[in-house]
């Protein structure tokens, strides 16, 4: 198993200055081990896709990267995850601030049952990022603009966010995450609850966001991984099997399991 990760690392030498890294990460839900010695580098201002069959640990791994697993009882983690070279599991790290630096978008759109404006303004408000109403207005507008939602909602910023369509809600959640100016955005199957048109819009958006943010996306759709990501990591049974440039993974996978998965022989 160590050999596998080693071969992956040698095939794709660890990148020069990764934004985030995971080293020998093991995770246990009570007695069940869900992640085994995961070593992965996340490159700055790129989209990294995590693929693999259901239950392979890719979402679990994603949630390790902003310590969302802390909120679950009975989870133990060992190993190291760094952001800009600093261990995020260090006792001196403030989780609240960490989660502001590493935003997250969830599988199901989960807007707060408040107005569209308040949804986006919530992050800047709790972190005290703004001094005046005007500044806040500006952040809300730019965030909505970045999420490609401004045109559709600018006349009804005060209406409830729950009245938006599923795709709009998901883009609102992205705008909400963007509003606190995170460095990394984690996306956990952001399109699984959306129709193809809304999915296309969100994918387009991810591609645009790449110029400003580092993005890690978990997806079940191989086409989506191929379309939006620059690097792809394949997980299987809690192990990172292979990681590399997306083109290489999809055209010339080194591991038989990767080959089997992307050609649809198992999954």
Find the distance separating the first CA and the last CA of the chain, reported in whole Å.
20
Query: From the CB of 113, what's the least distance to another protein, in Å?
Result: 4
- Note whether 173 binds another protein by CB under 8 A: yes
- Note whether 265 binds another protein by CB under 8 A: no
Closer CB to another protein, 98 or 130, in the complex: 98
- Note whether 112 binds another protein by CB under 8 A: yes
CA–CA gap between residue 203 and residue 266 (Å, rounded) = 26
Q: Judged by CB under 8 A, which of 104, 175, 202, 205 binds another protein? A: 104
Q: Judged by CB under 8 A, which of 146, 171, 176, 231 binds another protein? A: 176
- Note whether 113 binds another protein by CB under 8 A: yes
Query: From the CB of 53, what's the least distance to another protein, in Å?
Result: 21
- Note whether 191 binds another protein by CB under 8 A: no
- Note whether 174 binds another protein by CB under 8 A: no
CA–CA gap between residue 178 and residue 103 (Å, rounded) = 7
- Note whether 8 binds another protein by CB under 8 A: no
Sign of CA dihedral 73, 77, 39, 185: positive
- Note whether 73 binds another protein by CB under 8 A: yes
DSSP string over 155-219 = T-TTSBGGGS-HHHHHHHHHHHHHTT--SEEEEESTTTTS-HHHHHHHHHHHHHHTTTSEEEEE-
CA-wise closest residue to 7 among 265, 234, 177? 234
- Note whether 20 binds another protein by CB under 8 A: no
| Torsion from C-alpha of 152, 146, 227, 162, nearest 10 degrees | -50
Q: Which stretch binds another protein (CB under 8 A): 13-21, 40-48, 94-102, 218-226?
A: 94-102
Q: Phi-psi region for residue 176, left (φ > 0), alpha (ψ -120 to 50) or beta?
A: alpha
The residue written with tokens 């100016």 in the block is 181
The residue written with tokens 């760094």 in the block is 82
- Note whether 103 binds another protein by CB under 8 A: yes
Q: Judged by CB under 8 A, which of 26, 122, 142, 192 binds another protein? A: 122
| Torsion from C-alpha of 155, 162, 142, 105, nearest 10 degrees | -160
Query: Residues in contact with another protein, total (CB under 8 A)?
Result: 26
Q: Judged by CB under 8 A, which of 52, 111, 148, 253 binds another protein? A: 111
Closer CB to another protein, 169 or 246, in the complex: 169
CA–CA gap between residue 129 and residue 127 (Å, rounded) = 5
- Note whether 142 binds another protein by CB under 8 A: no
Q: Judged by CB under 8 A, which of 177, 184, 202, 217 binds another protein? A: 177
What SS3 state is found at 100?
Answer: helix
| Binding-site ranges for another protein (CB under 8 A) | 66, 68, 71, 73, 96-100, 103-104, 106, 108, 110-113, 122-123, 126-127, 162, 173, 176-177, 180
């Amino acid at each position: 198993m160590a050999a596998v990760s080693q071969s992956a690392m040698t095939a794709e030498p660890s990148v020069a200055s990764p934004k985030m890294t995971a080293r020998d990460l093991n995770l246990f839900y009570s007695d069940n081990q869900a992640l085994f010695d995961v070593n992965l580098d996340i490159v700055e201002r790129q989209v990294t896709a995590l693929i693999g069959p259901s239950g392979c640990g890719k979402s679990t791994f994603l949630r390790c990267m902003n310590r969302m697993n802390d909120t679950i009882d009975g989870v133990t983690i060992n190993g190291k995850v760094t952001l800009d070279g600093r261990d995020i599991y260090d006792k001196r790290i403030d989780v609240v601030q960490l989660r502001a630096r590493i935003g997250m978008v969830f599988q199901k759109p989960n807007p707060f049952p408040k107005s569209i404006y308040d949804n986006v303004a919530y992050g800047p408000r709790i972190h005290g990022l703004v001094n005046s109403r005007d500044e806040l207005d500006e952040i809300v507008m730019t965030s909505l603009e970045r999420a490609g939602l401004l045109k559709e909602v600018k006349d009804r910023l005060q209406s409830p966010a729950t009245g938006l369509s599923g795709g709009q809600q998901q883009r609102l959640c992205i705008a909400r995450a963007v509003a606190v100016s995170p460095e990394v955005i984690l996306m956990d199957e952001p399109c699984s609850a959306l129709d193809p048109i809304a999915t296309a819009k969100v994918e387009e958006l991810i591609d645009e966001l790449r110029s400003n943010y580092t993005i890690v996306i978990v997806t079940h759709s191989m086409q989506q991984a191929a379309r939006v990501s620059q690097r792809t990591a394949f997980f299987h049974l809690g192990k990172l099997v292979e990681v590399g440039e997306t083109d290489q993974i999809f055209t010339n996978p080194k591991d038989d399991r990767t080959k089997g998965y992307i050609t649809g022989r198992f999954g």
